[in-house]
Amino acid sequence: MELRRIAIVIYAVLALPVIFQIGYDLSYGGDPYRQGDWLINWHETVVRRGVVGSLLIWFSDLTGFRLLTVAAAVPLALYIALLATVCSLLPRAREEAPLYLLLISAGFCLVGWGGDPSGALRKEVIALLALALIVRAAGHGGAGWIPVGLACALMVLGAGGHLIVVLTGPVVIAAGIVAMRQGRIGPGPSAVLIAATALAMAAGAILVLGYGRLSSPWPVCRPLLDRGIPEQLCTGSVAALAMDRAGIGAMVAARLTGDAMREFAVVLLLVLAPVGYFIALCRQKRRAIAALAFCAVWFLPLYLLAEDWGRWLIVQISCFGLLAVLMVRAGLLDFERRPDPRVVAVVALGGLLAPPFHVIGINLGGGFADMAQIIVSGNWGAPP
């Protein structure tokens, strides 16, 4: 079976744990982090991350759909759109086969999220979809306004929803510049993309710096309770809005144990090994290393701000994977040889059986092991 079909099968199979996780969350009234973060809102006060939640509340009020269902359906729709977009980007030419070392590795979002669905469908899906749309537009040389317009909308709305979208902005801008210079996207759409993303990053940074903390989460929680959201959804991401810097520092410091660092070192080795092999196959090794460093550096502050190190790592590798596709299509990267099929098989198995946990560690058995545990334990309808 050709690599493209194998990748699509892997993505489709790993979508099952993600969808199962959403159903499980809804069965017990929603998760304080997976749905709770999407419901942070501005209804009573301005606060970081609040734009998306306010839009979801507005949509729920307008249509009559249950707010919790909307908070689960919107990220799922974005995930499906990202899945479809990435599948359209998968290489067909044998000369581009090394890209699969990135696109089916445990560090790529569609693999990593299925490997640990408890960390999936967070707001980074907004930024990664925007980046994937730019790469797709560039692959259809000359096409531009519709995918670029969608990417701009995602970045503008997403930057007010989470810092991680703001930090993805430089990668999106770089993709727009590369695509424009190589004649893959017109100067008009590229200029709009760069300007919109830059403004969104500035606005998002102002929200983080100026409205980053509340004295109490109640102004964010009350509009949710008024709409039938269970109080448990105010105990995770919503409650964290009232956490001071000392509390955040203590939370992260608690993870900095010897065992945790050893586990994360193993995760880094497993995730970066396919990346290293990919770079070894490139003719322009320095350019590939520079692109990897560029995609990684923006997210480093997150490691000091929150404990979801596995999530940050997946975003870094996913940005590099998508940017690498663009660079290959734009003629900025090519390869000395094709990858060893046995190595590709090991990379694929690693993504299925030993993906990174969204905090620190390896989720042995992947998302299917998590599914089996819930089913066997009979915990459907009960929080974990």
What would the two tokens of residue 80 be? Answer: 């499906």
122 located within any domain? yes
85 located within any domain? yes
Predicted TM-score (pTM) of the model is: 0.95
Instruction: Pinpoint the alpha helices (H) of 28-66.
Output: 50-63
Predicted confidence at residue 257, as pLDDT, reads 76
pLDDT digits over 180-207, tens only?
A: 888 888 888 999 999 999 999 999 999 8
What would the two tokens of residue 227 be? Answer: 């709409």
C-alpha torsion angle, residues 279, 294, 326, 84 (rounded to 10): 100
Least confident of 141-150, 189-198, 257-266, 351-360: 141-150
Q: In this model, does residue 33 exceed pLDDT 70?
A: yes
What value does the mean pLDDT take over residues 166-178?
A: 96
382 located within any domain? no
Percent of the chain with pLDDT over 70: 95
Predicted confidence at residue 374, as pLDDT, reads 79
Percent of the chain with pLDDT over 90: 75
1 located within any domain? no
153 located within any domain? yes
276 located within any domain? yes
**Among the listed residues 297, 299, 306, 294, the one whose alpha carbon sits nearest the alpha carbon of residue 245:** 306
| Domain of residue 367, residue span | 9-377
199 located within any domain? yes
384 located within any domain? no
Helix (H, G, I), strand (E, B) or coil at 172: helix
pLDDT digits over 132-146, tens only?
A: 999 999 877 555 688
Q: Please give the tally of structural domains in the chain.
A: 1
